[in-house]
Amino acid sequence: DLKLQFLYFIVISNMKHAAVFLAAAAATVSGQGYGPDQPDTPADFMCDWRKLSAEYAKVLRPDAEALVYDALELQKYCNGTVRPDPSKLPTVFPPKNPLPQSNAVYVDGTKGEDSNSGSIDKPVKTISHALTMKAGTVVIRAGTYYIQETLKMGVEHNGMTVTNYPGEEVWLSGGRKLENLQWKKSSLKGFNIWEADLSSIMTDDKEISELRVDGQRAWMARFPNANPESQYWPIGYLTSSTHDWTTPKISPTPNTATLVNVTGRTWDTYFADFSGGINGTCSIYDPPFSFFCQNTSTIGKGSGCGGCFTYYLPGGLNTKTSLPKTYPSLTKTGTKNKAYLSAWRAAHWANWKFEIDSYHANDTTDIIFGKGGFQGARGGPGSDYYIENVIEELDVVGEYYFDIDTKMLYISSNTTAGTPPSADSEIIAVTEKDLLSITSPSKTTPVKNVKITGIGFRDTRQTMLEPHGVPSGGDWSLERMGVVLIENTVNVEVSKCKFWKLGGNSIMISKSALHTTVQANEFALLGSSAVAAWGWTDEITDNGIHGYDGTTNDFPRYTAIIGNLFREIGIWEKQSSAFFQAKTAQSVVRGNVVFNLARAGFNLNDGFGGGDQIYENVLFNTCRESSDHGPINTWDRQPFLTTVRTGKPDMQMEWRNVTRNIVIANYGGMKEVDTDDGSLFYRIHSNFMAYGWGQKFKCGGIESFNNIKAFTIFGERFNAGCVLTSKVVFAPNLWHNDILISGEKNGNLDYRQAWGHDSEGHDWDKTQVYNNTIYVAPTYSAMITGVNGSQSLPLPEFQKTGAEPGSLQVQQIPPSAAIVQWGRDRLGTFTPPN
């Protein structure tokens, strides 16, 4: 029956597609990464970093010890290790929160009636009704509650707690239960396909974004085939060249956007001004503004903006021979059904989703795009892709197709041929995008002191085609929405909850939100980001001249992301993260365990007010599908005016600290803490890091010290920075007391670039880099490039000029046990956060 169908994945049976499927599986992207470990890494270190990560993760989330064991593949890399017994581990969800002594309303979806008083003996039936009773606490009994209209909490709920009954599992689902289905054998060709009429259940024109079959995710019929939860790029993708992506529907030349340029931080030689463009190619965003919609010639200064150009999107794709010449279902007119094309942007910084307007029309092999493509802020050509929601591609177990016009559901069953799906299977149609909002229309009258604890959230639909905006000058675009929306609030807590198999963002912390706490939750198998914090500035009024002004205080502040488990994130929207923030200040990100992500673990999209503290986290297996960034990724291409640093309006942000974390830069996460374009004022210290680059000093005020950076392929990139010419703000980059172990087994380590000097007598190589210890393979050297312009010198030779005092090159790779012990010395003891 269907309960068995997810125990295995049947490789494509339609042999006419087999060749391109195998080609896609073998695809690679330049710079994509090297998998779970860097080539030539000693076997004992591949075990030891995993043991260290498991050891510290256990302190933070002892309940996840078995999950961490599996993600680290400890059995493979550390012979003799034994998987922890999950039944003997502590549990976080569902919690056993104590019952309130008074002023409580009880909800029981099975035994309750909304006409009841709401006492423990006479519970109400629905959560929505309980919220109208304005009790101090709403206690929900075990069960799954299908939410077809968003639960809303406002100022009238100030001081309220919503909790599970002690030890009972409570789930809020965005699905519809499909009951009493009458299955008929379908005439469609494919693996044991059955159909059922849903016209009595799906009485509107909503699309079924996903199915749940006995709790497991089923997905729209697609080609090439892949299970989106267990198989990731390159499996399930076709390849393309940049020339296959067709002319933009909105041309970037000439740029028709209204250009914005406001003088900002004059001391920054890369990104001094708040700049961007309104409308033009950015008319697809909400609001229609982006840093990248200005003219290519004005985006950043010098080399500050890597690969930047005026934003544009391709209008379509020439599929050549990769897809069938025709799909009969895509030639129908007047249908409500939509087929989609999902694609990676070139370089794998983000992925897009488009509605298909026309497929191979007029005897071409062109797909013309409709709505979509606003996922990600950078634009340009695409790369790898797949097509979905095409009935002709329904050919493997796990796929389905729902025809909105006829209300017929088609599914491939792994029952014996000729036997319908089991009547005992629970099938849920996923249709809703959000479940709970905690919001006020104004920050002057915020929602206060609301607590959500012990609640499970599951089964919400994809949101990739919901309106996206560009939060600030980083690479991201984002939906200002979440399964739980928190906006214009003070002191909201979400704790000991479980966010499971959701289609979009789990928690959106929006606009003015003070002292939001997200603690001890589990986020797993998510379509997009787990937690996003996104403030607001007015980017449109008066041609955008107010967009830099954060003194209106419409932004999240004092957010606490503590002790959460983040895993398997980015099922659909690859530009996603465990925690993302933009126009947000003074966040504390502590004690989280993060692994198995499509993209980076923590993303900071701008500098804004700064003051963030990131410490005692464990991150590994991030950037499994993306490239050219790190497990922690930052930008700062737009200056903002805030009062965060001094209490007075100021363009300079407060220092941020990234300290005492385990950061494993495997897969495509090749830059550990990737302080990318414009990043300012970071102190990165006392971390244990492995693989990738030692440090990127892309702008200024970046200090790296007392870190262990094991088996790096580069030492650092760039120089003393972009904050060197002003007497008001003078913050050259600083690098000292780090230990680097070369990842080059048979060659020199490209240790760093020469930082040079200026006309005022500063010699950055003599004052800003010192006391580092660099271990290289015997007979090889740590090399300095760009000396006197183009010369390369070994570190000892470079030091003869007086440069880099106190640094030491050691021509011997230290034992793995010593490296890990150095890491422990710097990490110290983690404090259990929960």
Q: Which residues contact 362 (CB under 8 A, 6 or more apart)?
A: none
Query: Residue 418 has what pLDDT?
Result: 76
Which stretches in the chain have pLDDT values below 50? 1-32
The string over 402-425, giving b where at least 16 C-beta atoms fall within 10 Å of a residue's C-beta and e elsewhere, is bbbeebbbbbbbbbeeeebbbeeb
Residues 66 and 84 sit within 8 Å (Cβ to Cβ):
yes
Query: Residue 12 has what pLDDT?
Result: 32
Tracing tokens 């008066």 back to the chain, one arrives at 542
Helical (H) or strand (E) element with 184:
strand 184-185
Query: What does DSSP assign to residue 830?
Result: P
Shortest CA distance to 557 belongs to which of 615, 605, 517?
A: 517
Query: Residue 718 has what pLDDT?
Result: 87
Handedness of CA 291, 293, 298, 304 (dihedral sign): positive
Quote the CA–CA distance of 522 and 93 in Å, as a whole number.
Answer: 8
Q: Which residues contact 166 (CB under 8 A, 6 or more apart)?
A: 95, 96, 97, 98, 99
Amino acid at 692: G
Helical (H) or strand (E) element with 402:
strand 399-403
Residues 729 and 265 sit within 8 Å (Cβ to Cβ):
yes
CA angle (724 as vertex; 723, 729 as ends), nearest 5 = 60
Query: Residue 413 has what pLDDT?
Result: 85
Query: Residue 354 has what pLDDT?
Result: 98
State phi, psi for 824 to the nearest 5 degrees.
-60, -40
Strands (E), 57-201: 104-107, 137-140, 143-146, 151-153, 161-164, 170-173, 175-178, 184-185, 193-197
Phi-psi region of 474 (alpha: psi -120 to 50; beta: other; left: phi over 0): beta
Query: Residue 726 has what pLDDT?
Result: 87
Amino acid at 60: L
3-state secondary structure of 210: strand
